[in-house]
């Protein structure tokens, strides 16, 4: 395996604390086929009080409704690269022309579903046997919307959560930019009760793949109730609501599978220059294990020529999420938001097989980070992020006796320099979060606001130390 190249100083780009290393071969192309027969979702209607033991949510009344899907030809797509037999794609339902809801990482001329989804509420047939999931869905469902974006011959479907009664909505950058393919797409939003709104982008933060849009002439919407994502445990109930494959108001459940995960994704929405001195981030070579993919107007899926790796701190869940869930809600058993769904893992496939759907490995941006960034976007139009002032690489057995992020270089006068860190130190923890590689450290640093103070643990030789470091400001 070739040596990993050293990344530039983190003052030079959005992900400079991470490495440009990616010793992973690209995945072979695959075909993805949707069913060729119509798919009809069951009609839903009911109104019933929630079981107090399950939750205190009121169940909205609703008329019966249905969702239908018919097969139409799909143009070619490429799949994301592999790592450890997994490839992660954006949870964005993408399509060309009039079609919606195809795998963003599917490939090579299969078929996809064109989905027409009418509003639906929660069905409660037996009020004496209401589950926690039903109660959570009834409580939070009105705060989740379906987002349709179109630009030229491209289009896609994602989800979002309502932030205010007058129409601020939080979603992913890759949803509103069609994976970075368009900066000015037409956005139409459907609320849970079937109302349609035009929307405009308030601001995007490609560093953590979050964006805020504003619905035009909206009022009386139900804002999402934010939970404290720092208080969740592995094994906690996790409920996802969104529009997978364009099917609005879809509810799935599972658990929090892991915490303090980080994933690295090639984002084509990151600006060309990642620092105030005009330095250009290292180009992405398409070998990152986690990638968002653009769709060109010919329907083929190709990575943008202007991409940079971003590192995201994420919650891992086995609640089934699929393309179209991007930007939707991950909720706890009280119906409070704990994360914004952003990506899924899928098994690698060959050209003779089909791309699988959810395999129980999904990722969400923690609600605490999403809240900070959304507040900043509404106030200033953009989010802010910390800067360590050092470039790092993943420690290996040739360079360290412990796992962690190896300091490859220190920027003079930066936070790392002022804290006494030196080249060759191996960072093992950041604010109590274990650091196993360069992606972990970058994700944790970027999740904090500029000027934040953090406790950083590192190993130098045979000695372990912990220091306080004050973060600088990432310039994008």
Tens place of pLDDT per residue across the chain (476 aa): 444 444 444 444 455 555 434 333 333 333 333 333 333 333 333 334 444 344 333 333 333 333 333 334 433 333 233 232 233 455 555 443 222 222 222 222 233 333 444 445 666 777 777 889 999 999 999 999 999 999 887 888 999 999 999 999 999 999 998 877 777 889 999 999 999 999 999 999 999 999 999 999 999 999 999 999 999 999 999 999 999 988 898 999 999 999 999 998 777 777 654 433 222 333 333 333 333 332 222 233 333 445 678 899 999 999 999 889 999 999 999 999 999 999 987 665 433 334 456 778 899 999 999 999 999 999 999 999 999 999 999 999 888 889 999 999 999 999 999 999 999 999 999 999 999 999 999 999 999 999 999 999 999 998 999 999 999 999 87
Rounded to whole angstroms, the Cα distance separating 189 from 199 reads 7
Is 243 in contact with 324 (CB distance < 8 Å)? yes
**C-alpha 55: how far from its chain's center?**
28
- Return the sign of the alpha-carbon dihedral for residues 187, 193, 194, 196: negative
Please, are residues 462 and 399 in contact by the beta-carbon 8 Å criterion? no
Cα separation, 330 vs 90, whole angstroms: 16
Distance CA 67, CA 43 (A): 8
pLDDT in tens, 338-381: 999 999 876 654 333 344 567 788 999 999 999 999 999 999 99
* Three-state secondary structure call for residue 135: helix
Query: What residues have CB less than 8 Å from 259, skipping those under 6 apart?
Result: 232, 233, 234, 315, 316
Q: CA-to-CA distance for 73 and 76, rounded, in angstroms?
A: 10
CB-based contact 263:439 (threshold 8 Å): yes
Measured at the alpha carbon of residue 239, what is the angle toward residues 235 and 242, in degrees to the nearest 5? 145
**């209607």: which residue's tokens?**
45
Angle ∠(305,309,311) on CA atoms, nearest 5: 160
The residues annotated with a catalytic role in the active site are 174, 209, 326
Q: Which residues contact 29 (CB under 8 A, 6 or more apart)?
A: 78, 79, 107, 108, 351
């Amino acid at each position: 395996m070739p040596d990993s190249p050293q990344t530039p100083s983190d003052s030079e780009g959005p992900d400079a604390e991470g490495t440009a290393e990616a010793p992973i071969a690209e995945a072979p192309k695959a075909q993805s086929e949707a069913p060729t027969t119509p798919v009809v979702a069951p009609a839903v209607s009911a109104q019933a009080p929630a079981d107090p033991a399950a939750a205190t949510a009121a169940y909205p009344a609703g008329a019966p409704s249905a969702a239908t899907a018919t097969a139409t030809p799909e143009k070619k797509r490429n799949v994301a690269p592999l790592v450890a037999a997994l490839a992660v794609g954006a949870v964005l339902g993408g399509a060309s022309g009039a079609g919606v809801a195809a795998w963003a990482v599917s490939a090579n001329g299969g078929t996809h579903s064109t989905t027409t989804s009418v509003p639906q509420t929660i069905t409660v047939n037996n009020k004496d046997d209401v589950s926690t999931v039903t109660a959570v869905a009834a409580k939070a469902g009105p705060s989740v919307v379906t987002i349709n974006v179109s630009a030229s011959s491209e289009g896609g479907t994602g989800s979002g959560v309502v932030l205010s009664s007058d129409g601020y909505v939080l979603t992913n950058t890759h949803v509103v930019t069609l994976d970075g393919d368009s900066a000015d797409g037409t956005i139409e939003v459907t609320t849970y009760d079937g109302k349609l709104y035009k929307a405009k982008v308030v601001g995007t933060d490609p560093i953590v793949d979050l964006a805020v849009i504003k619905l035009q002439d909206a009022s009386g919407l139900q804002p999402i109730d934010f939970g404290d994502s720092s208080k969740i445990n592995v094994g906690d109930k996790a409920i996802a609501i969104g529009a997978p494959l364009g099917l609005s108001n879809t509810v799935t459940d599972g658990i929090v599978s892991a915490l303090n995960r980080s994933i690295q994704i090639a984002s084509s929405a990151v600006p060309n220059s990642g620092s105030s001195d005009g330095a250009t981030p290292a180009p992405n070579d398409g070998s990152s294990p986690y990638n968002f993919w653009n769709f060109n107007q010919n329907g083929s899926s190709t990575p943008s020529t202007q991409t940079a790796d971003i590192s995201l701190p994420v919650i891992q869940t086995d609640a089934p999420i699929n393309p179209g869930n991007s930007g939707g809600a991950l909720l706890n058993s009280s119906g409070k938001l704990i994360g914004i769904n952003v990506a899924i893992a899928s098994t690698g496939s060959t050209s003779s097989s089909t791309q699988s759907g959810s395999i129980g490995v999904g990722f969400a941006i923690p609600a605490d980070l999403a809240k900070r960034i959304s507040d900043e976007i509404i106030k200033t139009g953009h989010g802010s992020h910390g800067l360590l002032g050092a470039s790092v690489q993943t420690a290996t057995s040739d360079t360290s006796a412990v796992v962690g992020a190896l300091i490859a270089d220190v920027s003079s006068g930066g936070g790392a320099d002022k804290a006494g860190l030196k080249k060759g130190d191996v960072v093992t923890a950041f604010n109590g979060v274990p650091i196993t590689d360069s992606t972990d450290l970058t994700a944790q640093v970027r999740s904090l606001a500029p000027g934040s103070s953090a406790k950083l643990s590192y190993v130098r030789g045979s000695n372990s130390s912990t220091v306080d470091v004050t973060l600088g400001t990432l310039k994008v």
